[in-house]
Amino acid sequence: MLVGALAVGGVGGAAALFLAPAYKDWQAKQAEEKIIQVRVEPVKRGKLIRTVSAPGAVEPRTKVQISSRISAQIEALPFREGEAVHKGDVVVRLDDRDLQAALASAEARLRADEARLKGAQASLVNATAEWERISALFESQDVSKQDLDNAQTTLDRAKSELEAAQHAVEAAKAELDRARENLNFAIIRSPIDGVVTRLNAEVGEVVITGTMNNPGTVIMEIGDLSEMLVKAEVDESDIAPVRVGQKARVYINAYPDEQFEGVVEKIALQHRLAADRSKYFETEILLKLEEGRTLRSGLTANVEIEVEELENVILVPTQAVVDKRVDDLRDELPSLRGVDAAKTFASVVYVLRSDNTIEARPVKTGVSDLTQTAILEGLAEGEPIVVGPWSAIEKLKHGQKVRLRDDASQEQRQNTDAASDDADDSQADASPQAATS
C-alpha cells in the first residue's frame, strides 16, 4: 500500500511539474487579453477650418409670387408648374366681362359729366352777362337794389355749379382710368425670366385681393433657377462669427455624393422663432453652380460656414481629447501641472510611453471642427497618442499598460523591420572596409 501511495504521489508531482509552465502561460495569456487594445498615431501639424453648421433649404435667388390686384375668376393659365417663362409672357388671364362693363359705364358717366360741365359753363356766361347788365342799370337807377342782389346770387350759383361740374368730370376721369387699369389687371404677365416653381390655383377659381390681415390668393410662384441660394437657420449661439463673404460648404440631401460651394451673401438682423421656439438668424448663402446646372426649389440642405482658418497648428482627432474631472486627475497624476484646479473638468490626451504605458497629458484646446481639435499647449509634434477606439479611450487611466491593435502593431513592426534592414545593409557595407583594415 505504501508503495502504491508513493507511486501515485510521484505521478501527481510529475504532472504538476509538467502543467505548471502551461498554467503560467495561460495566466500570462489571460492577463495579456485583459490589456486594452488601442490605436496610436503621431501628433501632426496642419490646417484647421472652424465651421458653423446649420440646416436650410434651397431656393431661387430671385423669385416672385404672382397674385391678382382684382377679384375675378381665372379664365386661363397658359403655363403649368415646371414650365419655363420669359419676362412679359402672359401667365394668368382673368375673366374681364364685368371689367368691360365697368369700363363702359365709366365712359358713359364721363360723357354725361362733360355735358353737364358744358351746360354749367353756358349758364355762367349768361349769369355773368345778366349781372353786368343789371349793374349798369343799377348805376343809372333804373333797377332796384333787390334786382342787383338777385343777379349777384344767380352769378354765384352759376359759378358753384360750374365748379361742381368740373369736379364731377375729374372724378369721372379718375373712375375711367381705374376701370381701364382694372381691365389691364385681368392679364398678368411674368416680371422675370424663370420657371413656374409652384402653381396654387386652377382655371375657374375666383381669386381675391389681399388686405392688411389677408394676403390674398397667390396664384403661382416663378423663380429664376439660374441662381440658387440656401436659406440657412443659424442658431443664435453660433451667429456671432458669421460674416458676409465667408465661404460655405453645402450638402444637399438629394445629392448625397456631391458637395456644393457657396458664399454668405446676407445675414438677417432680426431673429426668427423655430418650431421649438428656439431663436435663429436666417442666413442666405449663394451657391456657385456650374453653367447650366439647376436645382429644384425647396430641397433640404445642411451648410458648414467657414468662420475661422488656422495654419500650421498641432492637431489631434477630436475623440482623442477626453474631458476628465479634476478631482479624478488628482488621484491619477503625480501633479496637476497644466491643469486649472479651479475648474471642474480638464482636457486630457493619452500619450504612449516607450514601455507601452500611457500618460494622461493635460492639454489646452483651441477651436475644433467635426473631426479635429487644435491643441494650443501640452503636446509636441510627433508624439504618439491614443486616437481610438473610443470604447477604449473612455476607460483609460494614467499609467495603464496598453497593447497596440493588430493593424497598428503590424505597421510598427514593418517600420521596425525596415529600420533593421537598413542597419544590416549599413553593417554589410562596412564589413569589407573593416576586413581590409
Residue 341, domain CATH: 2.40.420.20
- Domain boundaries, position 173: 96-184
For the segment 375-432, what is each residue's pLDDT rounded down to a tens digit? 999 999 999 999 989 999 989 988 999 999 865 444 544 443 443 444 444 444 444 3
Determine the pLDDT at residue 435.
35
Domain annotation covers residue 215: no
Determine the pLDDT at residue 181.
92
Domain annotation covers residue 22: no
Contact 350, 397 (CB under 8 A): no
Number of domains in the chain: 2
For the segment 249-278, what is each residue's pLDDT rounded down to a tens digit? 999 999 999 999 999 999 999 999 999 999
Last residue of a domain, one of 132, 165, 184: 184
Domain annotation covers residue 153: yes
Determine the pLDDT at residue 432.
38
C-alpha dihedral sign at 293, 297, 303, 308? positive
Cα 19 to its chain centre, rounded Å, is: 70
Last residue of a domain, one of 123, 152, 184: 184
For residue 358, the SS3 value is strand
Residue corresponding to grid cell 493635460: 362
Same domain assignment for residues 326 and 388: yes
Domain annotation covers residue 110: yes
**pTM value?**
0.63
- Which regions of the chain are under pLDDT 50? 1-8, 11, 14, 408-410, 412-437
Domain annotation covers residue 107: yes
Last residue of a domain, one of 184, 201, 234: 184
Same domain assignment for residues 113 and 177: yes
Same domain assignment for residues 101 and 161: yes
Same domain assignment for residues 41 and 120: no
Domain annotation covers residue 257: no
CATH number, domain with residue 165: 1.10.287.470
What gap in Å lies between CA 307 and CA 247, rounded to an integer? 8
Same domain assignment for residues 41 and 102: no
DSSP string of 147-182, one letter each residue:
HHHHHHHHHHHHHHHHHHHHHHHHHHHHHHHHHHHH
Same domain assignment for residues 41 and 103: no
Domain annotation covers residue 10: no
Determine the pLDDT at residue 325.
86
Domain annotation covers residue 150: yes
